[in-house]
Structure 1
């Protein structure tokens, strides 16, 4: 796991641009605390920060295909190719020689053998750039589900790219300016594939490649969800899911460093933990980790989103599998202070306290392991959210997670609200998303509706969660792997009927059956519970005071964006939560926005 940076230009000599590449690469230091590298040539310049996970001694980057050729392809790579050993054997049989044990060299040799189609052969999470001097072209590629980030900014005569937005902003050609569409994208949480928020900045879409040449940039998909009839009966489907998930966990345990798991005590993380604990490929006691909040015993109140606390269930699973469990307990002050770090990790405002809690949990876990497996993305493929039901918003004419839009929009200055047209923006992006759903001929209206919801979750909402996990974990130099994002499992589940996914009339009944022999009964029957948040009333009071102070500051960059009267209402009147979005989330979001505008010197030009 690493951070990558690069610059290609067909009009200027980049061999003397070391200072620029060093500045871009330095922004990625937390992602790669174990090493740094710069590679320069006339037309291309690459940077790399390394978190050493596989072949600790031999995987340095940027990596050149041949040290004996001046015109040899070079790669800068972030991620893991889980099937690199099998590919290495195949490539060796085709005459390729290897000088390291790293998956990076396998990736580069695969490109030499198969060209851009090498991505079809990779099982993993990855984002990389390959400069091919023979073709005078740059290939950018991102894994099928978008686990690893990759941003780029094309300009007349060249392109700049990197793992994070801050990496691009460190380049002199990139400005932290946000136009109306970028601001609407940020405020609405639509997570439109390809959107970069800052002017002219784009994200490589999940499952896509971008080929850059002197003629410009061409982005093409190499992977999409394909709809087809499901042929297996329920017992065969349960067996197949267990087999695919078990193989994914086994592959993702491969590392030359310590590996642990994130364990909330929910079905998803508990299943991954149990499979990891029982895997033949690992030795020793598994380390697991969860998060809780000081005062939760007193202040936690069940609701539809968080019907129960995680702590007791995580302890049960830990005892069941024999792990060494770390329980990170946070105070309101801890979370408030870490909100700034979460912002710096993501370069955009987000779910402030959740992101901050993630940062703190990952920091503690990093003291013990370098790699952690997560249960992320099971809900998107098995249908674990309430919005997969008619009562939860299945047939609503909008993304089900954009319940925050009215709360955010309500405090905007009236003129800005008119210009952004946030609800229209959400509706347009929703229409775009629906147009991408691959239909099945003869499918019933009910099944088609469910399929649309799965597509929205896998191609949009999942991106939000993966984005959070990547930035918060890599801020601490921790690599988080996601077995439920294995593309073979996702492809299989995409066409599995809803009746099977809800086997026995249970939410995620299919996964429950697949894990039936792995977990305690209480965990198998547990209700879906979202990531925990601080229930202490002092936390919201703390944030209200901070926002008052911000808006009272004559130099506040945020104040001109907000309606003073509406903001007073936000600070003085309590409102019930809308799904996962609470009033304290609105306050936290605006606090992050204020800090973002200061720290990133953001210019809003709408």
Structure 2
């Protein structure tokens, strides 16, 4: 895993811009603590920070073959097969890295190399033969990738902070950015910052002297599902076994993230079955949480007993990372979290605890496997199973939030300018229009397909970005087996009746992995990522929010009266926004 950045300019000589390129590259040091490299030519400048995971001595970047140079972030899990195929075509390799496989794949197949990759990746190739920059992002959007068109070219980077290290980029947030922030919907291409875009997942962006053009090489497509239930469950298991085997490949210490839920427990058990030594597992917990746990609207049980059941069942080398309220509410930690994400889109203590969990893990492992995205793929969230939400023409997770009575705390001027209701309805209708109907699909099955599509294209990308930013902020590579595009495609096209064949959520995943799991986890009801219940945490963030000066610009975004209620979510949001405003000093237009 790495951090990439670069600059293409067709009207200036970038060999004179080394200092700026160095500054852009240095912002990615957290993503790549092991090595740094830059490369310049008059029209192109590329920067790279490396986290060495495969072929530690080799794989240095930028990597050049002839007139073609690449900076690459991520992992190609099928690089061994591609390497053999390329050797058969006459290619000769000088390293054992997947980076060289991707670059030589480009030399052989051009940008169509993307169609052959299985993995998580964001990479940019300067093709000196055509004087073009080719930017490619993985199918599910696991690895972030941003670009910023300029008058004569483009800036790009793994994160916005790399682009902002170039004086050509301006820190401006407009109505579209704030809608993205407060809407909790990931609009394709929207990068929050004015003038900046994301390379959309499954997309190739090519920059030339004639401008910028985009081509989609992968999208979710609706197809008939003809397998029996038994064959479907069996194929899901075959895919998971292959995916986990591939994603365990690394030349550095590996581990798994274990929450005690079905998703992470399945990954843990499958990993343990494939390793000769005990798999390392890590879980987050809070001081006093297991002993004093109180069920709430989202979580009916604490994680720790189930975590320990799995660890005992598959005999992992397990560690609990136990956090207290003071660590979670620390303003310095909040700065690190906001700085890692570049936007104040945090989930309060859930972001803070994730950062601290990853930081603790990084002391023992460099690669971690996560159960992220199983709920979106297999239908695990509560909203998937609510008849009223199933029938509604709106984003399902937002309806669930609305049902939990969360009121807007936006300042009146901002709320009027954003007109969130109209924005979200239009956004929803655009998303639904992208969904094809499979032949012979009945109305209810198609409606559930639409719900699945919304989660896989407008919701999971928020969570994938969060996980990437929090992990890479401490130099930890987190892999997400459930995002393998083969599994996503297969389950997406499996009818809802099969996804709930046992009358519960995530039936296919449960059926495919129940033989390797303790019964307690097989029967456990879905529980989201944990959040501290310590009242001292709420007291801490409330005190910090109320200590903000009345003149702080955060109160142009959030009603100051929100402080009076002391509602936890509002306190966390105010502090995140205030921290972001202090750190980034953005120009705001609304």
What TM-score does the superposition give when structure 2 sets the normalisation length?
0.97
State which of 322, 333, 336 in structure 1 corresponds to 2:315: 322
State the alpha-carbon separation in 2 of the partners of residues 269 and 33 from structure 1: 27
User: Does the 8 Å contact 1:178/1:602 carry over to 2?
Assistant: yes
User: Does the 8 Å contact 1:409/1:422 carry over to 2?
Assistant: no
- The count of aligned residue pairs is 585
User: Does the 8 Å contact 2:68/2:126 carry over to 1?
Assistant: yes
- Is structure 2 residue 298 aligned with structure 1 residue 305? yes
Matches within 5 A, 1:94-243: 94-243=89-238
Q: What is the CA deviation profile of residues 521-563 of structure 1, one whole-angstrom value per residue up to 9, with x for unaligned ones?
A: 11111100000001011111111111111143x3x12122333
Cα offset, 1:442, TM superposition = 3.1
The secondary structure found in structure 1 opposite 2:343 is coil
Cα offset, 1:475, TM superposition = 0.7
State the alpha-carbon separation in 1 of the partners of residues 501 and 111 from structure 2: 41
Q: What is the CA deviation profile of residues 399-425 of structure 1, one whole-angstrom value per residue up to 9, with x for unaligned ones?
A: 122366898873322222211112221
State which of 536, 539, 550 in structure 1 corresponds to 2:537: 539
User: Does the 8 Å contact 2:558/2:574 carry over to 1?
Assistant: no
Matches within 5 A, 1:426-437: 426-437=424-435
User: Does the 8 Å contact 1:31/1:50 carry over to 2?
Assistant: yes
- Is structure 2 residue 364 aligned with structure 1 residue 373? no
Q: What is the match of residue 80 of structure 2?
A: 85
Q: What is the match of residue 589 of structure 1?
A: 573
The secondary structure found in structure 1 opposite 2:205 is strand
Q: What is the CA deviation profile of residues 135-172 of structure 1, one whole-angstrom value per residue up to 9, with x for unaligned ones?
A: 11111110000000000011221100000111111111
The secondary structure found in structure 1 opposite 2:514 is coil
State the alpha-carbon separation in 2 of the partners of residues 316 and 108 from structure 1: 44
State the alpha-carbon separation in 2 of the partners of residues 20 and 202 from structure 1: 21
- Is structure 2 residue 412 aligned with structure 1 residue 414? yes
User: Does the 8 Å contact 1:501/1:508 carry over to 2?
Assistant: yes
Change (3 A) 1:45 1:265: same
Q: What is the match of residue 294 of structure 1?
A: 287
| Worse-matched range after superposition: 289-298 or 96-105 | 289-298
The secondary structure found in structure 2 opposite 1:134 is coil
Q: What is the match of residue 482 of structure 2?
A: 484
| Worse-matched range after superposition: 325-334 or 384-393 | 384-393
Flag structure 2 segments of 5+ consecutive residues without an equivalent. Answer: none
State the alpha-carbon separation in 1 of the partners of residues 497 and 471 from structure 2: 36
Q: What is the match of residue 440 of structure 1?
A: 438
State the alpha-carbon separation in 1 of the partners of residues 355 and 563 from structure 2: 31
Change (3 A) 1:407 1:36: farther
The secondary structure found in structure 2 opposite 1:275 is helix
Q: What is the CA deviation profile of residues 243-295 of structure 1, one whole-angstrom value per residue up to 9, with x for unaligned ones?
A: 0011000000011011100000111101111111111xx33221100001112
- Is structure 2 residue 242 aligned with structure 1 residue 258? no
State the alpha-carbon separation in 2 of the partners of residues 469 and 147 from structure 1: 9
- Is structure 2 residue 4 aligned with structure 1 residue 4? yes
Give the alignment's Cα RMSD to 1 decimal. Answer: 1.5
Q: What is the match of residue 264 of structure 2?
A: 269
Change (3 A) 1:152 1:449: same
Q: What is the match of residue 359 of structure 2?
A: 363
The secondary structure found in structure 1 opposite 2:213 is strand
What TM-score does the superposition give when structure 1 sets the normalisation length?
0.94
| Worse-matched range after superposition: 47-56 or 593-602 | 593-602
Q: What is the CA deviation profile of residues 35-69 of structure 1, one whole-angstrom value per residue up to 9, with x for unaligned ones?
A: 00011111000000000000000111010013xxx
Q: What is the match of residue 494 of structure 1?
A: 492
User: Does the 8 Å contact 1:551/1:558 carry over to 2?
Assistant: no
- Is structure 2 residue 38 aligned with structure 1 residue 42? no
User: Does the 8 Å contact 1:141/1:208 carry over to 2?
Assistant: yes
State the alpha-carbon separation in 2 of the partners of residues 156 and 511 from structure 1: 49
State the alpha-carbon separation in 1 of the partners of residues 413 and 585 from structure 2: 23
The secondary structure found in structure 1 opposite 2:240 is helix
Flag structure 1 segments of 5+ consecutive residues without an equivalent. Answer: 67-71, 572-582
Cα offset, 1:371, TM superposition = 0.3
State which of 277, 297, 306 in structure 2 corresponds to 1:284: 277
User: Does the 8 Å contact 1:299/1:536 carry over to 2?
Assistant: no
Cα offset, 1:351, TM superposition = 0.8
Q: What is the CA deviation profile of residues 177-214 of structure 1, one whole-angstrom value per residue up to 9, with x for unaligned ones?
A: 10111111111111111111111110111111101111
User: Does the 8 Å contact 1:318/1:325 carry over to 2?
Assistant: yes
User: Does the 8 Å contact 1:543/1:587 carry over to 2?
Assistant: yes
State which of 341, 351, 355 in structure 1 corresponds to 2:336: 341
Q: What is the match of residue 452 of structure 1?
A: 450
User: Does the 8 Å contact 1:407/1:586 carry over to 2?
Assistant: no
State the alpha-carbon separation in 2 of the partners of residues 417 and 459 from structure 1: 26
The secondary structure found in structure 1 opposite 2:224 is coil
